[in-house]
Structure 1
Amino acid sequence: MKLLVLCSSLDLRYPASCTPAWWQLLKALREIGTEVVAAPYQGPAIESPWWRCYDNPCRLEGDIFRRIKRLAGQARGPVGEEFRRKAKETPFEKFIRIATRVWIRPKWQRHLHRILRDEGDVAAVLSLSVPPNHLVGLPRSIKRKHPIPFFFYDGDVPGSLPRFQGFALAFRIYKGADLSEYDGFFSNSQGGIPELEALGATNVYPLYYAADPDLFAPVETEQDIDVFFYGHGSEFRADWINAMIRQPSEAMPDVRFAVRATGMDRLIGNAEALLYSSFSKLREYSHRSKINLCITRKAHTSVYASSSARPFELAAMGCCIVSNPYLGIEEWFEPGKELLIVNNAEEAIETYRDLLSHPEKRKALGRAARERVLQEHTYRHRARQLVEVIADTSG
């Protein structure tokens, strides 16, 4: 099978949280025998041993959009959850909607037609988190000339859904979209599927995040950090950053807390702010840490089985994981055996002290978590699920 994959981005330098996951998924697809032809919607075309890549026909426009988006966010300042729920379409969003309709979408439509013509034997097109309201009419146009199915994978559910309005510098990807154009949908969230169906999506399947066990493998190294967290932004999780980092770090001056993050400096109490560096650096920080925190946003923890990458990455590395309450996490890991859950700052402090005093307990949790990943949650598992759905639809 050959897939044409339209990726939100393939450049790990861009702070798009899904990009490392797309690398792992595309790699896994190739490893199970699927030929992958990719095209990035944002940023440069990047070749790899696992896929061939076509240019981004709107790279300049995308770079301009990214800069404007960043400046708009800086000018606006922090955005509260209540503001996002009530906000109407902003002038920036209106500008983007018009620009995509009259300029971006036609260029991509011509580009994809050329790729499909030149490749000749593509079995299906898969869009990875490219905003569907940027592509209105494109799937239907593709299918008129090429009798192949067109799929969409939203890796940001439930944050992408209308009731959550996206995160601080995001936008409403479903406003004005026509989801009936797609032959099938994949969602990182099981609980978000009914809302996607209400928006017009058909044939919606859960496809959870996972981890490449070779990329995220255990490494023997000195553990000089006691408690560690990494992540992008504090939206929808500021209360848990307070309960799991700020309060414990102030109550436990003998314990080294460290954070590698953006937009959290005022929230982390006595925790040390580590250098925000490359994607690869976060693995080093995690290996150096006795306890790794998984602090997931309220949007994900409140909607059943809404997966994020962090639990799978940490588990694959054999880390000792402590998490905030997470609705549906038992779909992937067994609390008490493969990770621990804390319900407030007092429980967090007690749990940290216990784990720091018992190295074997930490190691046992890490071993069990990695074993669960190897059994059920590698990207090869996800790739096989995806290909099976596409094959059934195509057949």
Structure 2
Amino acid sequence: MKLIVLGLSLSSSWGNGHATTYRALLKAFAERGHQVHFLERNVRWYAGENRDLSDPDWCRLSLYEGLADLQRRHAREIAAADAVLLGSYVPEGVEVAKFLFETARGIVAFYDIDTPVTLGKLSRGDHEYVSPEVIPGFDIYFSFAGGPTLDLLERQYGAPRARALYCAVDPSLYHPLIADRRWNLGYLGTYSPDRQPKVERLLLETARRMPDRRFVVAGPSYPDSIAWPANVDRIDHVPPARHAEFYSASRATLNITRQDMVAAGWSPSVRLFEAAACGVPILSDRWDGIEDLFDPGSEISLVEDADEVEQALKSLDSMQGVRARSRILRHHSAAHRAEELESELLDARPGSRSNVPNRERSAA
């Protein structure tokens, strides 16, 4: 199968989780014998030193300058592809979708790596990268969120078939390492205003209560106004090649979910799977659906406040990380997701569904 992917970024992991998600999924998809060509809008904030993968050996990567450049250079290849996958947060995403509907002869799918955020935007009339106008035109709407969200996408927005395609992890890159346990609790995540109250409540407050323990927060864009306790280290950016090292240097890792994803439920982050693959005990906030992914108490600890974090750190079960990694290897590896992607794309081939009326409506 020839698959073309238009995504936010494959070349740069700076300040986004899309790159690591695409890298794991598409590498595993290529290993199943398929050809992949990734088309990425060339933007300055992912260029230069922020571009940490310019020439992957498992797919082609091409940068384009804008919609006109995309149409001029890649229309013929898009028309000939077996499937085209458009991702969330692609610049001019609505116009790109319309171009794909007019040009592609194969499957056209949407891969929403931000589904709860997307639904929040749509409810406010914000059509930054996808709109109600184009959703019915996609043969498949792949969603980072499962559960009731899938029914909502079909019932309210007219997606012909909404399917969960959770993030995943490459166990060959994310695995336990022998490392000095520098920190008792670590958190890896780009600053987000809606997550920061939980960072304050679960990590910073715990650090103040436990001055003899070491903590770390890694990720870009945190404002200078934050008062970091003396026992909390700050790292501005950890490249994917050093994620396993970062996780392995903590006795436990903290998972914090964006508020839109908590509200939707069934919305695991890629960081959750990465930490689990590294065999590190995980303390996570609570949300509907997490028990479908990991067994609370056995494979993951759920916490709501500093009291519960402090207690968890004092009674940490190192085997919890071992059990969580075993769950990843059984159900949440990139190989599992690539198989799911392949199966859904094959099921949506012409002859197994009628997609022409939807595309006509979306382009009207």
Question: Could you say whether these structures have the same fold, taking a TM-score greater than 0.5 normalized by the shorter chain as the test?
Answer: yes
Moved more, 384-393 or 188-197: 188-197
Distance 1:176 1:192, change over 3 A: closer
Amino acid at match of 1:2: K
Q: Give 1:1-395 correspondences, 5 Å limit.
A: 1-43=1-43, 46-53=54-61, 55-58=62-65, 104-116=66-78, 120=80, 122-129=81-88, 130=90, 132-143=93-104, 147-163=105-121, 172-175=128-131, 177-190=133-146, 191-197=148-154, 198-262=156-220, 263=222, 266=226, 268-279=228-239, 280-355=241-316, 361-362=317-318, 364-394=319-349
CA contact (8 A) 1:139 1:150 kept: yes
1:234-280 Cα offsets, whole Å, 9 max, x none, are: 32222211221121111111111111123166165444233323413
CA contact (8 A) 2:25 2:335 kept: yes
- C-alpha separation in 2, matches of 1:109 and 1:373: 39
Amino acid at match of 1:199: Y
CA contact (8 A) 1:162 1:172 kept: no
Distance 1:152 1:42, change over 3 A: farther
CA contact (8 A) 2:298 2:323 kept: yes
RMSD of aligned alpha carbons: 2.3
CA contact (8 A) 2:201 2:305 kept: yes
- C-alpha separation in 1, matches of 2:346 and 2:213: 52
SS of corresponding position for 1:274: strand
TM-score (norm 1): 0.78
**Cα displacement (A) at 1:315:** 0.4
**Cα displacement (A) at 1:171:** 7.4
CA contact (8 A) 2:191 2:219 kept: yes
**Cα displacement (A) at 1:152:** 0.9
- C-alpha separation in 1, matches of 2:140 and 2:327: 28
Structure 1's unaligned 5+ residue stretches are 59-103, 356-360
- C-alpha separation in 2, matches of 1:267 and 1:202: 48
Amino acid at match of 1:196: L
- C-alpha separation in 2, matches of 1:141 and 1:164: 23
Distance 1:269 1:112, change over 3 A: same
Higher relative contact order (CA 8 A, sep 6+): 2
1:315-371 Cα offsets, whole Å, 9 max, x none, are: 00001111111221112111111110012221111111222xxxxx22x00100000
CA contact (8 A) 1:322 1:342 kept: yes
Q: Percent same amino acid among aligned pairs?
A: 28
1:97-134 Cα offsets, whole Å, 9 max, x none, are: xxxxxxx43432333313246xx5x3111112235324
- C-alpha separation in 2, matches of 1:139 and 1:107: 14
**Cα displacement (A) at 1:13:** 4.9
- C-alpha separation in 2, matches of 1:305 and 1:37: 30
- C-alpha separation in 2, matches of 1:114 and 1:163: 33
Moved more, 268-277 or 305-314: 268-277
SS of corresponding position for 2:25: helix
- C-alpha separation in 2, matches of 1:367 and 1:106: 50
Amino acid at match of 1:376: H
CA contact (8 A) 1:245 1:271 kept: no
- Count of aligned pairs between the two proteins: 334
Quote the residue 1:83 is aligned against. none
CA contact (8 A) 1:234 1:264 kept: no
- C-alpha separation in 2, matches of 1:287 and 1:181: 44
Quote the residue 1:92 is aligned against. none
CA contact (8 A) 1:185 1:201 kept: yes
CA contact (8 A) 1:150 1:184 kept: yes
1:23-66 Cα offsets, whole Å, 9 max, x none, are: 1111010112221122113457933111123x3231xxxxxxxx
CA contact (8 A) 1:315 1:370 kept: yes
**Cα displacement (A) at 1:309:** 0.4
1:146-176 Cα offsets, whole Å, 9 max, x none, are: x31111101011012235889xxx9732347
